[in-house]
């Protein structure tokens, strides 16, 4: 920004000093020394102790988006071609989120999960809805490095589908429902597998006793298949043993 004459209304402050790390030039090079600033609706900072129309603009550290390689690369490209309006676009590192089903979710029997893949690292994250909306915005070019997805996740009902005497399905189980949801997700983003592998995560299935596992669906936490009697606890899910007791007994998982 070049000011060829000093407007009378300009709130000018001169002979200010910046220490190392406080200001940077537009190309990211650090600035240290005397500077001046003025306020025309928005504060602007320039090198040099006193006002000069030839002074180069400098920027507070938090205004330069050099937090990660992709931000730096994109910002420098647009600075090169002279379109600085693009510099306002930025993205923050994803923050992992653990869903906590509300009473409304439990009453409804489902919750919505928001998932994200970081393409350049292949890391996957469970994120909240606000992050999902932010990363989904096509107007932000940094979002090309991220792919988001959302899914309905069923949390209440019978553990497995219930069938009548004639083999007709009476009520679909949590396992079958979430298996279907996971398969749809993984068809589009297979890297999300670690996040949806546990089909009973966040669930509160209907309690049941004296059930039998043939090793097809239930596993110990270490991944070993479980064969034997089990029961379903309303908050812990399937557990070893015909009935619940105060004795130590392992929680079981239903995995993809």
205: left (phi over 0), alpha (psi -120 to 50) or beta: beta
Q: What is the pLDDT of residue 76?
A: 58
Domain ranges of the chain: 11-64, 103-196, 207-254
Could you read off the pLDDT of 34-75 as tens digits, one per residue?
999 887 667 888 999 988 878 898 887 544 343 445 555 555
- CB neighbours of residue 241 within 10 Å: 15
Separation between Cα atoms, residue 132 and residue 239, nearest integer Å: 34
**Does residue 10 contact residue 38 with C-beta atoms inside 8 Å?**
yes
* pLDDT tens digits along 215-241: 999 999 888 999 999 999 988 999 999
Closest CA to 147 of 99, 181, 190, 184: 190
Q: Say what the pTM is.
A: 0.63
């Amino acid at each position: 920004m070049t000011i060829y004459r000093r407007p009378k209304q300009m709130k000018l402050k001169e002979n200010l000093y910046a220490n190392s790390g406080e200001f940077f030039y537009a190309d990211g090079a650090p600035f240290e020394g005397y500077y001046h600033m003025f306020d025309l609706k928005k504060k602007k900072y320039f090198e040099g102790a006193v006002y000069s129309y030839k002074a180069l603009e400098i920027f507070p550290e938090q205004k330069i988006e050099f937090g990660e390689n992709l931000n730096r690369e994109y910002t420098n490209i647009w600075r090169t071609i002279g379109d600085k309006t693009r510099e306002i676009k930025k993205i923050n590192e994803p923050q992992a989120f653990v869903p906590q089903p509300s009473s409304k979710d439990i009453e409804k029997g489902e919750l919505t999960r928001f998932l994200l893949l970081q393409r350049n690292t292949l890391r996957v994250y469970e994120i909240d809805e606000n992050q999902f909306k932010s990363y989904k915005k096509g107007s932000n070019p940094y979002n090309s490095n991220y792919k988001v997805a959302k899914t309905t996740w069923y949390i209440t009902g019978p553990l497995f589908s219930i069938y009548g005497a004639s083999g007709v399905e009476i009520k679909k189980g949590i396992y079958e429902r979430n298996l279907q949801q996971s398969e749809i997700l993984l068809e589009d983003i297979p890297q999300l597998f670690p996040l949806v592998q546990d089909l009973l995560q966040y669930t509160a299935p209907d309690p049941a006793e004296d059930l039998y596992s043939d090793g097809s669906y239930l596993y110990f936490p270490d991944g070993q298949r479980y064969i034997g009697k089990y029961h379903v606890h309303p908050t812990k899910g399937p557990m070893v043993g015909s009935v619940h007791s105060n004795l130590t007994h392992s929680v079981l998982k239903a995995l993809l």
